[in-house]
Structure 1
Amino acid sequence: MIKYPFLEKDTTIGVTAPSSGVPSELHGLLNSAFKSMEKKGFKIISRETAWTQDKAKSAPAKKRAEEFNKMMLNGEIQLIIPPWGGELLIETLEYIDFENIQNKWVLGYSDISVLLLAITLKTGVATAHGTNLVDLRGEYSDDTTAMWQSVLSTKKGESILQYSSKKYQKEWQNDNPTPYIFNLTEQTYWKSTENEKVKVQGRLLGGCIDTIRHLVGTPYGDVQNFKKNYIEGDSIIWYLENCELTTTDLRRTLVQMKLAGWFENCTGIMFGRSPANTPVENYTVEDVYKEFSKELQIPILYDIDCGHVPPQITFINGAYAEVESNNGQGTVLQTFK
């Protein structure tokens, strides 16, 4: 059985950086995010790693893990949101106290998805893949991003429906801020390897493929054990997003995951919009999707609202989902069962 945390109103958020912290010249972003969250009624407890950054990490691995472990055991904190992602979260995993993971939400994406996926696979506690903290610093959030709060406030046994965004951000325009942070200029259009309406059901698992691929073959990436212990034979829908990989590196990674059994009893894969997917020779990402869809005999959706090209839907690792896509629009119905 999956264990689902529940976000109560006006609760306390813990801010720690198990990957990258915020360097001093960008502390304004963090302070601004705190003010926005406090206006919404949340209390904030932040620790040292959120404010430091050196050599591609907020602090040495043990310190990052200890800070996270303490926040996990702090009864006042109900939700942990790192400031943002980074590069080297994987260094912390051997020091994370998985035996004492509490039933509380951890929310984030990018490198944070390594921790999210590891927690759900090892403990059966649901985790939330969605916005990071600094992207909540606006006067308000766009409709897609804003759903994080409703999703995390869904009770066990209940369902929550999210829709594809109307528009997405092609590039950051930091000199042209909007009240909701993002510059949403491009028409969202979910695509598919099928020529018809797509409907898939299963348990959600996923994250940033650049980083979660390094869990393959480790104790933190035991998908078979998760299936046996927590989801009683339910199928899986993978949601993945590519931050920096070329098409050939993406292909190698997907084949590795397949060989490791990650895609056994999988009903579909969703790929987020990507700033990468750089073609190698004339090998495009569409080629990758079509080949893989044919090999696994499952539909692949792509350019969905997930990852480094915002906004993004809040996906819950472990939740039962019904995903539909038709004519460029999509819905994700998640049930906490």
Structure 2
Amino acid sequence: MIKYPYLPDSATIGITAPSSGVRRELEGIVKQAVERMHLNGFRTVIGETVWTQEKAKSAPARIRAKELNTMLQDEEIDFIFPPWGGELLIEILEHIDFEKVRPKWILGYSDTSALLLALTLKTGIATAHGTNLVDLRGEQSDPTTSMWLSVLQTESGEAVTQYSSEHYQKKWQHDNPSPWVFHLTEPTEWKPTSDNPIEMKGRLLGGCIDVIRHLIGTPYGYVASFQKEFINNEPIIWYFENCELSTTDLRRSLVQMKYAGWFDNCSGILFGRSPANQPVENYEIEDVYEDLTKDLGIPVIYDIDCGHVPPQITFVNGASAEVKMENGKGTVVQQFN
């Protein structure tokens, strides 16, 4: 059985940097986000790693892991919310005491997704892939992003429904701050590799493919044992987002996942919008999706609300989901059972 945390009102948020911390010139945006959490009734405990950054990480692996372990085991902390992702979170996995983790939400994306997926696969504790802390610093939040709170306050046995966004952000404009943080200007359209409509059912797993692919063949990437131990061999819906990979690198990663058995008993795959997907010798991203559909014989939906091109739906690793798409619009119903 999947163990679903619950985020109470007036919760205490543990803010730690298991990947990258914050350079001095950017400390202000974290402080803004923390103040926004306080205004919303939350308390915060901020770790030392948040304020340090050197050589592509907030601190050496053991220090990052120690701070994270402390927060994972602290019964006074209800929710762990890293400021953002980074590059080298994978270094800390061998130092995490998975057997002592108390069920509590962890929310984030990008490099954080390596922690999220590993934790769910090893413990059966649900984790949440969605907005970063710093992206909640604005005075307001768009309807898609703001669903993070409703998702984390869904009780076990209940369901939560999310919808595709109306618009997405084409380009970051850090020099032009808005009350919403994001600048959502482009019409959102979810796209299929087969005829409309599409419907898929299964347990959600996924994250940033750049980093979670490196869990393959490690003790932190045993998908088959997770299916057997925690979800009674139910099918999986994978969701991925690509931060930096070219089309051929993405294709290699997906083929490796297939060889590793990650797509065994898979009912569908979702891909987020991407700032990458650079074509190689006319091998376009649509070719990657078409090849995957042919390989696996399952539906594929792409350009969904997930990843580095906001806004983002909050996907819960381990949740039972029903995903529907028709005429460019999508619905995701997650059941916490």
How far did residue 245 of structure 1 move? Answer: 0.2
| Offset from partner CA, 1:72-125 (integer Å, 9 cap, x none) | 111111000000000000000000110111110000000000000000000000
**Aligned equivalents of 1:334 and 1:239: distance in 2?**
13
CA shift, 1:138, in A, is: 0.4
What corresponds to 1:268 in structure 2? 268
State the one-letter code of the partner of 1:79: F
Provide the identity percentage: 65
Matches within 5 A, 1:102-181: 102-181=102-181
Distance (Å, rounded) in 1 between the aligned partners of 2:99 and 2:9: 28
* Offset, 1:175: 1.9
TM (norm. structure 1) is 1.00
The equivalent of 2:43 in structure 1 is: 43
Between the aligned partners of 2:77 and 2:196, the Cα distance in structure 1 is: 45
Counterpart-to-counterpart distance in 1, 2:180 and 2:42: 18
Residue 233 of structure 1 and its aligned partner are, at CA, apart by 1.4
Q: Distance in 2 between matches of 1:35 and 1:180?
A: 15
User: Following the alignment from structure 1 to structure 2, what is the Cα–Cα distance between the partners of residues 321 and 113?
Assistant: 19
Tell me which amino acid in the other structure corresponds to 1:206. Answer: G
CA distance in structure 2 between the aligned counterparts of 1:274 and 1:116, rounded to whole angstroms: 20
TM-score with structure 2 setting the length: 1.00
Q: 1:24 Cα deviation (Å)?
A: 0.7
Render the CA deviation track for 1:34-69: whole Å, top value 9, x for unaligned. Answer: 111111001010011011100000000000000000
Aligned length: 337
The match for 2:279 is: 279
| Cα distance, 1:335 vs structure 2 | 0.0
For the residues of structure 2 that align with 1:223 and 1:266, how far apart are their CA atoms? Answer: 11
* Alpha-carbon distance between aligned partners in 2 of 1:37 and 1:311, rounded to the nearest angstrom: 19
Paired residue secondary structure (2:78): strand
Cα displacement string for residues 307-335 of structure 1 (whole angstroms, at most 9, x for unaligned residues): 00000000000000000001010000000
Shift of 1:174: 1.4
- Deviation, 1:28, is 0.2
- What's 1:20 paired with? 20
Q: Does 1:196 align with 2:205?
A: no
Q: Which amino acid aligns with 1:287?
A: D
Q: Secondary structure of 1:238's partner? A: strand
Unaligned ranges ≥5, structure 1: none
AA matched with 2:236? I
What is the CA distance between 1:190 and its match in structure 2? 0.2
CA distance in 1, matches of 2:142, 2:98: 34
Secondary structure of the structure 1 residue equivalent to 2:75:
coil
> What code does the residue aligned with 1:126 have?
A
Asked if 1 retains the 8 angstrom alpha-carbon contact of 2:75 and 2:102, the reply is no
Partner Cα separation in structure 1 for residue 97 and residue 256 of structure 2: 28
Aligned-partner SS, 2:13: strand
- The residue number in structure 2 matching 1:296 is 296
| Cα distance in 2 for residues equivalent to 1:177 and 1:25 | 16
Aligned equivalents of 1:193, 1:317: Cα separation in 2: 24
**1:189 offset after TM fit, Å?**
0.2
**Equivalent residue for 2:71?**
71
The root-mean-square deviation of aligned C-alpha atoms, in Å, is: 0.5
Letter in 2 for 1:80: I
Give 3-state SS (helix, strand or coil) of 2:298's partner.
coil
CA deviations 1:182-203 (Å, max 9, x no partner) are: 0001000000101210000000
Equivalents in 2 of 1:166, 1:112: separation in Å? Answer: 26
Matched, 1:242 2:242: yes
Q: What is the Cα deviation at residue 255 of structure 1? A: 0.2
Q: Per the alignment, in what secondary structure is the counterpart of residue 324 of structure 1?
A: strand
Q: Determine the C-alpha separation between the residues in 2 that align with 1:179 and 1:274.
A: 24
3-state SS in 2 of match to 1:271? strand
Give me the whole-angstrom Cα distance separating, in 1, the residues matched to 2:160 and 2:43: 25
Structure 2 CA distance for aligned equivalents of residues 89 and 216 of structure 1? 15
Partner of 2:145, secondary structure, is helix
Is 1:220–2:220 an aligned residue pair?
A: yes
Q: Using the alignment, how far apart are the partners of 2:217 and 2:194 within structure 1?
A: 32
Task: Give the letter aligned to residue 181 of structure 1.
Answer: V
Alignment partner, residue 3 of structure 2: 3
One-letter code aligned to 1:288: V
Q: How far apart are the structure 1 equivalents of 2:180 and 2:102?
A: 32
SS in 2 for 1:143: coil
**1: CA distance between counterparts of 2:119 and 2:270?**
21
For 1:331 and 1:53, the matched residues in 2 are separated by 39
Task: Decide whether the 8 Å contact of 2:210 with 2:242 is kept in 1.
Answer: yes
Q: Say if 2:205 and 2:237, in contact at 8 Å, map to a contact too.
A: yes
Give the Å deviation of 1:285. 0.5
User: In structure 2, what is the equivalent of residue 320 of structure 1?
Assistant: 320
> Could you give the per-residue CA deviations for residues 146-192 of structure 1, whole angstroms, max 9, x where no partner exists?
00000000000000000000000000111221111000010000001
- What letter is aligned with 1:245? L
Q: Which residue of 2 aligns with 1:258?
A: 258
Query: How far does residue 336 in structure 1 lie from its aligned partner after superposition?
Result: 0.2
